[in-house]
Amino acid sequence: MDDDMAVCHVEFNGLDEHNFNVYGMDSLQAVNMASNIEAVLERLSKKYDFYWPSGEPYFDDDNTGAEK
């Protein structure tokens, strides 16, 4: 972005309205913070169901963020 800040754009295929930017002090911090999307998935789980490729739910039934 510039000498003082970096940005990493996060996109969810099929969920365009939930795309966002994450800013960090450098590119490594921005990518690190962008890859930590647990809180985003928890918030989105109120509207969407998330599953592992095996078909198991990503969150427990109570959607508290306890992943398998």
Per-residue pLDDT, 64: 52
- Residues 67 and 59 sit within 8 Å (Cβ to Cβ): yes
Band of pLDDT at residue 68, cut at 50, 70 and 90: very low
Over 50: is that where the pLDDT of 4 sits? yes
Q: What angle do CA 48, 54, 57 make, to 5 degrees?
A: 35
Q: At 61, is the secondary structure helix, strand, or coil?
A: coil
- Scanning the chain, the segments in alpha helix (DSSP H) are 27-35, 38-44
Q: What does the pLDDT look like over 8-65, one tens digit per residue?
A: 999 988 888 889 999 999 999 999 999 998 888 898 999 999 999 999 999 886 545 5
Per-residue pLDDT, 20: 93
Per-residue pLDDT, 16: 84
